[in-house]
Amino acid sequence: MSDRIAVDPPGPAATRVPRYFWPVAIFLALAALPALITDPFVLNMIMMSMLSAAAALAWNLSGGYAGQLSLGHAAFYGIGAYASTLLLLRAGISPLFGMLVGAGISALSAIVLGMITLRLKGSFFVMSTLAFGAVVHIGAMNFRDLTGGASGLAIPLNPSVVNLTFANKAVYVFIALGLVAAYYVATRLIAGSKLGYSLVAFRENHDAARALGIRTLPIRIGIFALSAGMTSIVGSLHAQYFLYIDPDSVMSLGLSLNFALMAIVGGLGTAYGPIIGAAVVTCVSLVMQIYLGNQVSGLTQLAYSAIVIVVLLSLPTGLGPGLRDALGRRFGWRP
């Protein structure tokens, strides 16, 4: 009797996809959309999705990779919006410079906040960031002489590159898409570096990370500051797109929750997940505004909750990783 063991013949080899094929292909396809689409509503939906994706990517650096679940990032978003707007209205300084000033203020604020709060764990850190966001929001509401209070601030429409205002919505879409691409590349570079591995090590087991000699606090403060600065830049672009800001539109708790929601739905700790999550959440929100009008507020939150529950039950790692694995099994792709 033969000692050979019968085995099935090998199946077809998996198709190897070049490492950067899909990101480049998808961003090129997105770049073609503004040239092909003329409907203002669709362009606005794409623009809002891009702004949300950039903010979610910025939040994901701290919340996804480092496990620092912040509910105060709307404060940094608002700081960027107000910094660029006030410098433009009061001193005539270009928003191109104003957004850098806002990013610097946000980063410094995050460093101070991080030195105080990042020693806290779990829900204590979450609540401290929530309190920070609430304090900044209340301050913006009460300092009416500076921020305009609840009435907000209006930005005059003077289309020019220096003012970062344009008559054509497609230009804003190109700028926002470039910002998303830059944040995506930055996320990939950080994730593949020693810094990224250190952040993930802390997220998975902070005691073990410290035992291995990783100085977790300076690293976490640095990534928190970077995340805040990136979020602030998105807030400045938001102000120039809508030409109007007020504390509720750029500093609300709901905005902070949305940043976290988009990253969670798309896939925490991935470079592409927040982009997918932002597209889904933004499109759901805008479509509900069309069909439900003034009733949208409570029902939108209900829809968000339903999305999170369905995604976490069916795809615990998020839409991005879930879809990647499903397509890989279906077509035999291997990144």
- The per-residue pLDDT for range 34-93, each reduced to its tens digit, is 888 888 888 999 999 999 999 999 999 999 998 889 999 999 999 999 999 999 999 999
Whether residue 155 has pLDDT greater than 80: yes
Burial label, 197 (beta-carbon count in 10 A; 0-12, 13-18, 19+): middle
Interatomic CA distance for residues 246 and 149, integer angstroms: 7
Whether the full predicted model's pTM is greater than 0.85, yes or no, is yes
Whether residue 323 has pLDDT greater than 70: yes
Interatomic CA distance for residues 162 and 182, integer angstroms: 21
- Please report which residue ranges of 205-272 form alpha helices under DSSP H: 206-211, 216-242, 247-250, 253-266
**SS3 category, 196:** helix
Percent of the chain with pLDDT over 70: 89
CA distances from 264 to 29, 57, 73 (A): 25, 11, 15
Place of tokens 């879409």: 173
Average the pLDDT over 259-287 and give the result. Answer: 90
Burial label, 119 (beta-carbon count in 10 A; 0-12, 13-18, 19+): exposed
